Structure formats: structure tokens, C-alpha cells
Structure 1
Amino acid sequence: MTRRSSAPMPSGKHRRLTLLAGVLLTGMLAGGSAMAAGSWKAFSAPGGQAPAPLALQDLNGKPVDLADLKGEVVLVNFWATWCEPCRDEMPGLDKLSRTLAGRHFRVVGVNAGDGEPKIRQFLERVPVGFPILRDSAMETMKAWRVRVLPASFLVDKNGMLRYQLVGETNWEDAAQQAPIMELLK
């Protein structure tokens, strides 16, 4: 005789979020040190389109559309407040953004699934000068095929996806800045 739990089944949305969290955690654990090192992967066909449009609102409700940022090199960073490596690299991303200000470079942070109060609470402790966009339903994250956080993408001045980096990185490292500098030429 098997005993059945009397606990109620979680809602569909809760099941999807729990499943997605499990997939992310599994990806982080399975990735081991290779993921933690964080190195850029060039796309085999430079000039490819982004996997999906990126048009979200920032924390003030202002719409930000990647298509409107043509003419700039854009570093799109997917992150979450519960992700320790994401939190750890935020000050470095902010410093990179400030260091390259005025060089047609922009960092855009895309928060995956956190509520606005939680994001604002984090940003009070770790302020950043670049826009934070909300992907509350994680639809953009899924469309960009992000499976591990943090995940960063470099988009060139023509709006084409050129590089991807999975895992935390040291944004002050010249080797990590090299693809950015190449695209800024």
C-alpha cells in the first residue's frame, strides 16, 4: 500500500517556477568550475540576430528596447537577486559601465523573476548606474535560452549578437574586456 500525501498540488505557475529554479540550480551544479570561470564564446556566425526581441520596462516603468540601442555596443546581463554570483559581479559591471561611458557602450541588466520591491531592496545595498529591466515572467530569459545565471551577451553596434558568457566573471580583467574593446573599434 502506498501512502499519498495530502498536501495540495502547487499551482501551474508555482510548478513552472519551481521547475525553472531546479533547472537553473542543476545547470549551475553540473557546470562546475568551467561555468564559474566565465569565458566569452563567440557565435560561429557573427552577425546573428538576438534569439528574441528584448523590449522590457525598467524599474520606473520606462520601456527599453534593444532595437533602439543600435549604434552602441550593448552588454546584456541576465541576473537575479537570489543568485550569489550575480550579486557578486554587479559592482564590477557597474564599474565597467562607468569606465566605458561615452564610448558608445551600454550595460543593460535584465532581472529574471524577482519582484520590484526585492530588486529595489538589492539596489539600495548595491547601487548601479545602468538600467535594470524586469523580466518578471522570465519569458525573455527563456527566449534567449538562458539556463544558468548570470549570463551575459554582447551585441554589436549593428544590433547583432556576437558573444555569450555564462557564469560570473571579473569585469576588470583585460581578457574579459577584450571582446568589448574589439566591438568598440
Structure 2
Amino acid sequence: MMKYHPLPAFLSACAVSACLFGGHAQAASWKAFSAEGGQAPAPLVLPDLAGRDVDLSAFKGEVVLVNFWATWCEPCREEMPSLQRLQQKLGGRGLRVLAVNVGEGVPRIKQFLERTPVSLTMLRDADSDVMKAWRVRMLPASFLVDRHGMLRYQIVGEADYDDPAQQAPVLELLK
């Protein structure tokens, strides 16, 4: 039995937004950052599920898909298997997926992973500070960071990463 976990007000708003606007109503699509060559991301240094810090800047030279998600977010749960398949398909070409869980503890995340086994790099944004710094207003939200560490694309709402249209920006950055 899942224990009731009240959400902070801004996360509740995100949940409502995701239910109303994300995923099922219309397909989400990548939007390029307006600055030529992208823009520098806010710092991202977060613990993984074992408590080891992971720093986004350590992945320069790779294309990184940063996905903000939560276990209570249905569109987030729905897209997780396709994120896993994307990592499996393109990981050997230089893609890394960082799944940033927002506001939840390790036991809840592990419970989700037992039901939906994925081997992505799972990070915890326990206080939602990184989510705020990246200006995430709705979950799920994903960002593509190029090999030089610049933000190039973002997508808000549920995405099907098996779809060639969703893979196109990733493949472009992997060239």
C-alpha cells in the first residue's frame, strides 16, 4: 500500500498541468533554444540512488538528454520505457540519459523501478532546486544538451522516444 505523500503546492500545480496539457491530449515536440548554438544550462549536480554526486559537466563530449520526472506523474511513467529504449539504441553513439526525479525519496523511486525496470542514470532533486533553476514548470520535461555542454532543445509533456520525429534532434546532435 502506498503511503499518502502531500506534494508542495508548485508540484501539485505541475501535476495538474501535466494531466491537463501533457502527453495524451497532444503529442509533445522538441523546441530549439532561440540562441544560436544553444545556451548554457544551469548547474546540475545531484545524487544518484546510491548517494554519489553526478555532475552534468562531466559528460562533455556526449549528448545528454536530461529528463525531469516523478513517480506520481502518469505521463512521466508512460514515457520511461521509451527513454530506456532510446538509451539502449543510441548509447553506443554517445547518448546518455539522466532521469532527474523531482521531490521523492529513494524508496519510492526504487518501488517504481521494481515495476518498470529501467537502467537509466537516476538522479534525485529532493528539494526541487535544480528543477527550479532549469525553469521546469510541468512534468515530464526533457532537455537535450549537446557535446559542448550547451542546451539545444527542450520538450514538455509526454514524448514517445521510439518515434523518428522525437529521435531526429538527438540524431542531429550525435553527428
Q: Tell me if both proteins adopt one fold, taking TM over 0.5 as the criterion.
A: yes
> Is residue 10 of structure 2 the alignment partner of residue 20 of structure 1?
yes
One of 32, 45, 49 as aligned partner of 1:42: 32
- For residues 168-179 of structure 1, the aligned pairs below 5 Å read 168-179=158-169
- The answer for the alignment partner of 1:128 in structure 2 is 118
Larger Rg: 1
Aligned-pair Cα RMSD in Å: 1.7
Task: Please name the residue that 2:86 is paired with.
Answer: 96
How far has the Cα of 1:174 moved from its partner?
0.4
Identity %: 59
- Cα distance in 2 for residues equivalent to 1:135 and 1:33: 22
Residues 129 and 34 from structure 1, CA distance in 2 versus in 1: closer, same or farther, beyond 3 angstroms? closer
Q: Show CA shifts across 1:118-154 (max 9, x none).
A: 0000001111111100001111111111111000000
**Residue pair 2:15, 2:139 contacting (<8 A) in 1 also:** no
Could you say if the C-alpha distance between residues 57 and 80 of structure 1 is closer, same or farther in structure 2, counting changes exceeding 3 Å? same
Paired residue for 1:150, among 140, 155, 159? 140
Letter of the structure 2 residue corresponding to residue 48 of structure 1: Q
TM-score, normalisation: structure 1: 0.86
Q: Which runs of 5+ in 1 are unaligned?
A: 1-13
Mean Cα deviation higher: 17-26 or 114-123: 17-26
Write the distance in 2 (CA, Å) between the matches of 1:68 and 1:93. 21
Deviation by residue 1:84-142 (Cα, 9 ceiling, x = unmatched): 00001111000110111211110000000111100000001111111100001111111
Which contiguous aligned blocks of 4+ residues in structure 1 show a shift greater than 6 angstroms? 32-35
Does 2:27 correspond to 1:31?
A: no
- Relative to structure 1, is the Cα distance of residues 33 and 56 closer, same or farther in structure 2, using a 3 angstrom cutoff? closer
TM-score, normalised via structure 2 length: 0.91
CA shift in 2, pair 1:106/1:34, >3 Å: same
* Distance across 2 between alignment mates of 1:166 and 1:66: 20
Question: Between Structure 1 and Structure 2, how many residues are aligned?
Answer: 169
SS at structure 2 position matched to 1:53: coil
2:53 aligned residue (59, 63, 68): 63
